[in-house]
Amino acid sequence: MDQVFTAQQVTDHVYWVGAVDWSIRDFHGYSTSRGTSYNAFLILGDEPILVDTVKAPFRDEMFQRIASVIEPSSIRHVISNHSEMDHSGCLPDVIERIRPRTVFASAKGAEALARHFGLSGVQAVADGQAMTLGGAELRFYETRMLHWPDSMFTYYAADRVLFSSDAFGMHLAGTQRFTDEMPWDVVEQECAKYYANILLPFSKLVLKLVGRLEELALPLKVIACDHGPIWREGLDRIVELYVKWATQAPTRKAVVVYDTMWGSTARMAQAVVEGLVAGGAWAKVLPMGGSHRSDVATEILDAGALLVGTPTLNQNLFPTLADVLTYLKGLAPKNLVGGAFGSYGWSSKAVGQVADALEAMGVEAVAEPVESAYVPDAQVLQRCRALGRAVAGRLAAFGGDGA
């Protein structure tokens, strides 16, 4: 087969040999409107090392990129920082074709690779372990639950590269390999989306990890993440953003999420928004008929409030709201106040279900839910405005530039 994919040099000894997935639009429930990449890296030395692999269908692309630098069979070692299949999917093929001398993973990674693929013989490395392979000095750091139990970082001392697995990455396809080659607003937006949809539930561990990185004080030139462009500039900036996102400090921003059958809940949502704005907050409105759950998660990352409106359908909340509330519950956002509202016909059930779901998520209700039988009248709309004002009152102490 003619070669169409080539490696891209990252540092003196490190080459990117991953794959770009331009067409993916759904990454296990997360909308990836800009595609993604699966980053794998080659460390060249006396004993070439492959760090991570790519999703199974991209195997040939990775092998072509490797072959543009070295004969793939000359790879002596493989390091699997994370066993999720977007990074390990073609590891069995790699092992079969290359027959590396050793495959390394964390202890949990070795266990997971055995369960995923029946791989035996993966050598477990310990947290903090140092190792020299063909002259390449490496150190391994477990990053458990960031975001799987097996996740780890690998540090390559000579070129000061931290292979950070999913951390500090983003779903963003491109021909550019470095974040500084792409518009910063796009990079920041996609990193925020990645954090909100993947790492948010583990925010306490993120803060611990940042503390550990500060203690380790590893000299860093590049953070080579496993998705999207990698970092050779702005390393401090992305770490600072991780601290900000992990802290989840509330702002004056309120996220209003709703769906509607005949326009009644939509009118209520608009009245809630009027109340929010009149009270000095600002609102991001996400009608679920045209919004994706993962964009709701992203908007919540820098918000102080979540208000949710639903019609009642067959004595239940509307399916799109059930979807987004289930998703958000798993992401466990913190430091939010909010409230519930919605219309019903002959059976008032759904708004209470939303209120219960918000309570289960730890969202503090600042007022009673607002319900409307059929079409909201002036009194109901006034109560919706009051709900918005009450929420805005709770957010008044916080900042936020309304961006």
Return the range that interacts with ligand FEO (CB under 6 A); candidates 8-16, 78-86, 247-255, 374-382: 78-86
| 82 contacts ligand FEO (rule: CB under 6 A) | yes
Which residue among 30, 155, 194, 344 is the active-site one? 194
Does residue 61 belong to the site contacting ligand FEO (CB under 6 A)?
A: no
Closer CB to ligand FEO, 227 or 394, in the complex? 227
Provide the angle, in degrees to the nearest 10, between the axes of the packed helices 91-98 and 59-67: 40
Collapse the DSSP code of 331 into the 3-class scheme (helix H, G, I; strand E, B; otherwise coil) and give the result.
helix
Amino acid at site 86: D
Nearest residue to ligand FEO on Cβ basis: 84
Residue 227 or 385 with smaller CB distance to ligand FEO: 227
Query: Which of 2, 28, 215, 401 does the annotation list as catalytic?
Result: 28
Active site residue 82: yes
Three-class secondary structure of residue 248 per DSSP = coil
Distance in Å, CB of 144 to ligand FEO, minimum: 13
Least distance to ligand FEO, CB of residue 227, Å: 6
Contact with ligand FEO (CB under 6 A) among 21, 52, 226, 259 = 226
Report the alpha-carbon distance of residue 376 to residue 42 in Å, rounded: 62
**242 is an active site residue:** no
Amino acid at 5: F
Would residue 116 show up in a list of annotated catalytic residues for this protein?
Answer: no
86 catalytic residue (yes or no): yes
| 108 contacts ligand FEO (rule: CB under 6 A) | no
Query: Quick one: which segment of 81-89, 246-254, 280-288, 297-305 binds ligand FEO (CB under 6 A)?
Result: 81-89
250: tokens are 């509330």
- How near is the Cβ of 147 to ligand FEO at its closest, in Å? 6
Kindly state whether residue 259 participates in binding ligand FEO, applying the rule CB under 6 A.
no
State the Cα–Cα distance between residues 367 and 364, nearest whole angstrom: 9
Active site residue 147: yes
Which of 21, 47, 52, 86 binds ligand FEO (CB under 6 A)? It is 86
Applying CB under 6 A, does 227 fall inside the site for ligand FEO?
yes
Closest by alpha carbon to 162, among 20, 244, 43? Answer: 43
**Alpha-helix residue ranges (DSSP H) falling in 118-261:** 184-194, 203-216, 235-247
Q: x-or-dash pattern for ligand FEO, window 148-187, by CB under 6 A?
A: x-----------------x---------------------
Q: Interior CA angle at 285 toward 380 and 266, to 5°?
A: 35
Phi, psi of 317 (to 5 degrees): -65, 160
Q: How far is the CB of 151 from ligand FEO (least distance, A)?
A: 7
Tokens encoding 269: 């949502």
Fill in the DSSP letter of residue 230: B
Q: Distance between CA atoms of 403 and 392, rounded to whole angstroms?
A: 17
Select from 288, 289, 312 the least CA-distant residue to 299: 288
Distance of CA 20 to the CA centre of its chain: 18
Catalytic one of 171, 227, 295, 302: 227
Q: How many residues bind ligand FEO (CB under 6 A)?
A: 9
Measure the CA angle with vertex 231, ends 126 and 69; round to 5°: 80
Closer residue to ligand FEO (CB): 227 or 232: 227
**Residue number with CB closer to ligand FEO (156 or 202):** 202
Q: Under 8 Å CB-to-CB from 9, ≥6 apart: which residues?
A: 15, 16
Any idea of the CA torsion for 328, 334, 339, 343, to the nearest 10 degrees?
A: 0
Member of 65, 76, 77, 87 binding ligand FEO (CB under 6 A): 87
* Nearer to ligand FEO (CB atom), residue 104 or residue 344: 104
Stretch that binds ligand FEO, among 82-90, 185-193, 254-262, 344-352 (CB under 6 A): 82-90
Please give the structure tokens belonging to residue 262: 């005949």
Distance of alpha carbon 34 from alpha carbon 136, whole angstroms: 35
* Catalytic residue status for 38: no
Q: In the complex, which residues of this chain contact ligand FEO (CB under 6 A)?
A: 82, 84, 86-87, 147-148, 166, 226-227
The residues assigned a catalytic role are: 28, 82, 84, 86, 147, 166, 194, 227
